[in-house]
Structure 1
């Protein structure tokens, strides 16, 4: 016996199964007894017989003793005394004992141990499931609640396509309150195809499920206590909390701070899409205060290029404008043109803004019109002929008209009327206006029609 064999025999003696028990069990085990005879006779037809040896009437496989089937459960129990795992049990067994299919027996014993099953670690994590990228904006949204934080909750809504973020503060997280918030959001952006959420009671309630079913929205829920499935919303829950904490000492309410954060977030290009959420959502530049530093671009009005105005006014033109008080129209003059279709008009010392459809050019004279000092009516200009048709000129009556009457003379009502050509009223003679450039305030020319008129009866005294 070599020194190594003596060492292993001493180790076996310390096992709960003695060497004597192993020797006696080997002599009664049919399978091992056949192997024992083959080893003793030196047959080679069994294959790999050279790996076995005999010591003290016990069979050894290399340096390990072969355990009979009768004693195998005791050996397994001893190897599993400290509820070690499969790997450690195999490592320990390979130093002392061996039998056919020992590795499989060790695995089955550990799997059937109730205590070990209850104390198992989590299984190896599989690669993170990546949601299929949506084909269009607002087709799949992820929602979750953050809080309580700053004495309130925040409903986080993220669009999986554009990464557009909505954060709505609320003091109630019931199903009814959540539905009311979602209704406002869906009214603005439309109904999504899929809504992903965790297993919160407000998301799993019958009221919420009925709301989603009525609007044709597919509800998907994550596994409990596995937030990574709803990673889109979970990530932004932490982002919103961190940003609000960073803005804690800044001025403004929570709502003001939240709006500032959302505006800058929606303006900033996203690392996964390469574009800002605002640009992807609205297909245009999401304008914020940072855009004020850019050069102002000229605004091109396509409609104005084809706009043809059939009338226009110049400063100083006499006009009448539409009023919306007791007077339907008032007279004034054009002061300045504002744009293509708007003018400023002065009326009674006040400036009115009117559209061209509310202005009519007029030739009527009114004391209310503040005409320029250089303006003079045509019929008062020197060497100007008297208008042929006085009815075309609207003359406001002067406050004072001086009339000269001749001595009273009684006239018979049967007196014939003179012809229109030489007829002159006897009792009413107007005083002629001097030929001057400046009209006399108390005197004004009275122009009558050339029609034949009968004198009023009150003059027949």
Structure 2
């Protein structure tokens, strides 16, 4: 009877606590409400926990994996009717966006846009889209198949799977809205937003604020790596000297122990003493085995100072002694204890 109203887990628990109790009552009530179809349809069972995020593999080169989405319909008196939809193509490697305003978003219109982009940038290997009717049509699928492009469609109602272009859509709409408020036309607002985004001001400001410098570390250099943790308070964050064995990226290096570190956590140090001495000895030129050893240079003769008259001894005079007298105020006292 406590569950007849389908009020949810919390309300059913409150009712049962006033009437009955048995071991495991909370678990039984949760299982009852979770398996109830009426509670599920009325939204009383709560939401299931989301699965862990699955990051996309970073493409090895530009325009290898792109994402496509349709942004719109955009409403407003400043938006022309023939530009109320924005077809957005986003490159996952370089984060470069391409935006084409159109009035209709049929499959043929999207194919024409892709033809223009592919003529300029080349054919990608993979294209990711959502499940819009234009993007799952036979005409669009046949076009991608003829081009040899792998088509990945995201799960239904899961825009996170197409997160790169979806996040750019938010930035695009915010930028256009801000420029329209300032009195710009729609095309000017679109151009200004794309120009500021493509200029990568974030990288410029980051480099200036952090005073970045190109890494001077090279292969075969000796470095110390700064670890994020240390085993005890008396230990150092810096590792023992290690040699750079390989460069994996613009600022990523592999050390002699097999670990990979970013240049921001490495500090160039001199080679250890034993290795430095061995290197110096190895670099010395050896005597050819066939020829005789080169003659040694004559030993330099020590220079003698010119003979002069011997210095005469100088008599040292004694320092004068001051006259010491008994203080007058001690005249009535016996100050000498010697017999």
TM-score by length of 1: 0.39
Whether 2:194 is the aligned partner of 1:262: answer yes
Tell me what 1:5 maps to: none
Whether 2:210 is the aligned partner of 1:210: answer no
Tell me what 2:177 maps to: 245
Distance 1:181 1:224, change over 3 A: same
C-alpha distance in 2 between matches for 1:178 and 1:268: 27
3-state SS of 1:213 partner:
helix
Whether 2:20 is the aligned partner of 1:97: answer yes
Tell me what 1:53 maps to: none
Whether 2:73 is the aligned partner of 1:141: answer no
Tell me what 1:228 maps to: 160
Distance 1:109 1:245, change over 3 A: closer
3-state SS of 2:58 partner:
coil
- Deviations along 1:181-213, one digit per CA (max 9) or x if unpaired, are 011111111111211111111111111111111
Tell me what 1:126 maps to: 51
C-alpha distance in 2 between matches for 1:241 and 1:90: 46
Summarize the alignment of residues 247-326 of structure 1 with structure 2, pairs less than 5 Å apart.
247-248=179-180, 253-270=185-202
Shift of 1:111: 3.5
- Deviations along 1:398-451, one digit per CA (max 9) or x if unpaired, are xxxxxxxxxxxxxxxxxxxxxxxxxxxxxxxxxxxxxxxxxxxxxxxxxxxxxx
Tell me what 1:160 maps to: 92
Query: Could you tell which deviates more after superposition, 120-129 or 211-220?
Result: 120-129
Tell me what 1:197 maps to: 129
Distance 1:84 1:188, change over 3 A: same
3-state SS of 1:248 partner:
helix
Tell me what 2:286 maps to: none
3-state SS of 2:73 partner:
strand
C-alpha distance in 1 between matches for 2:155 and 2:135: 13
- Deviations along 1:217-260, one digit per CA (max 9) or x if unpaired, are 11112223332222211222222222222222667753344233
C-alpha distance in 2 between matches for 1:134 and 1:88: 51
Task: Identify the structure with bigger relative contact order (alpha carbons < 8 Å, sequence gap 6+).
Answer: 2
C-alpha distance in 1 between matches for 2:131 and 2:109: 17
Count matched residues: 196
Shift of 1:102: 4.6
Tell me what 2:103 maps to: 171
In our comparison, the structure showing a higher alpha carbon Rg is 1
Distance 1:210 1:95, change over 3 A: same
Unmatched 5+ residue regions in structure 1? Answer: 1-77, 276-461
TM-score by length of 2: 0.51
- Deviations along 1:265-316, one digit per CA (max 9) or x if unpaired, are 2112456xx79xxxxxxxxxxxxxxxxxxxxxxxxxxxxxxxxxxxxxxxxx
C-alpha distance in 2 between matches for 1:141 and 1:131: 12
Distance 1:91 1:156, change over 3 A: same
